[in-house]
Amino acid sequence: MRAITRPTNMPQVTTPTYWEYVRVLGNAVGRYCSFCERALTFQLWLFHKLRGPLAVSAQIGNNDWPNLLLICSECAASATTFTATTTYFWPDSLDAIQNPPYLYQRIDNVPVSWADDDGNATNLGTASFFLVSISTDVPSNVQAAAQATYRLFRLNGRFFNENFSSPGYTLTYDEYIHPSDTRLEDRWDAYIRALDAAQAIMRAFGTRRAGDAYARSMLAMINMGILGYGFVSTWESMIFKTLSDIGPNMMPNLIALMTNQPPPQQPVDRKRAFTQVEQGLQNAADEERKRRLAFNQALNTLIQVKS
């Protein structure tokens, strides 16, 4: 889940209507679903942290600004069990920056089927998905809140069986004929493009001096891809994993490029490489976590919010 930093003071609202608040919030934090992270080019809706999904006819005032988030239609349709008394994990919280609880992993050969009203299933084959899970490397209260948010919005789609050991994806007949929840498919598209981008960056760093210009071009293309597809955490996870698997200096080189710092002159240990860009995140649980947080911060800095 992408961390959101909203302006403390609400931008000026021309007329206090639902769509005006949508416009102002989108300009302030970026036009992405606050929960599944898909890019919102149309069908932008409002979610209120104390009231749940807001209807277009909802009464909204400037005092609601700290509680407003953008949401897509699929996440809004999933949030039927919202209660104001439940502690949820919000993307504009401090923990979203310091203790991000969501992990992203590829799972292949997931059985896909559709079932009729009597529960009779028809096999449709298998598929690969890029799924959200909850990290155990965050405080227990953050885990619990993240789990509540995960369940509320069904972040792996309304038809995933929630069993990571024996995953399955069973559609209703209506969903099979007329798909309405395409979040998993859209996240997979973003994953494929992020994988291509990570491999291109890897090739660019084959020769550091000659590769800088190419790597910068790739970062610009990543920015365009995120603006078009959303799913920032998918891009972050895929690029981080691909480059970290190659060697310990790939990520320091990339972060140095993204933050306009000089590249390391010699191999350095992971902790030192990322301490320079952590900016207050030194209390993260371990150095691998610090590396991920540093890259997440650099990637979010790269994204230019379009008004």
| Distant-in-sequence, close-in-space partners of 125: CB < 8 Å, separation ≥ 6 | 111, 112
The reported pLDDT for the residue numbered 54 is 96
The reported pLDDT for the residue numbered 2 is 87
Cβ atoms 91, 69 nearer than 8 A: yes
Q: How many CB atoms lie within 10 A of CB 106?
A: 14
d(CA 260, CA 198): 19
Strand partners for 214: none
Residue identified by tokens 């590829």 is 106
The reported pLDDT for the residue numbered 270 is 38
d(CA 222, CA 235): 8
Element (H, E) at 77: helix 73-78
d(CA 196, CA 222): 10
The reported pLDDT for the residue numbered 226 is 80
Cβ atoms 39, 3 nearer than 8 A: no
User: Within 13 Å, how many C-alpha atoms sit on residue 136's CB side?
Assistant: 0
The reported pLDDT for the residue numbered 124 is 93
Residues of the chain with pLDDT under 50: 266-286, 304-307
The reported pLDDT for the residue numbered 156 is 96
Cβ atoms 209, 257 nearer than 8 A: no
Summary mean pLDDT of the chain? 82
Strand partners for 130: 106
Residue identified by tokens 């399955």 is 168
Q: Where are the domains of the chain?
A: 185-302
Cβ atoms 207, 253 nearer than 8 A: no
Q: Which amino acid is at 186?
A: D
pTM, two decimal places = 0.80
Cβ atoms 4, 91 nearer than 8 A: yes
Strand partners for 126: 111
d(CA 178, CA 195): 29
Helices (H) and strands (E) in the chain, counts: 11, 6
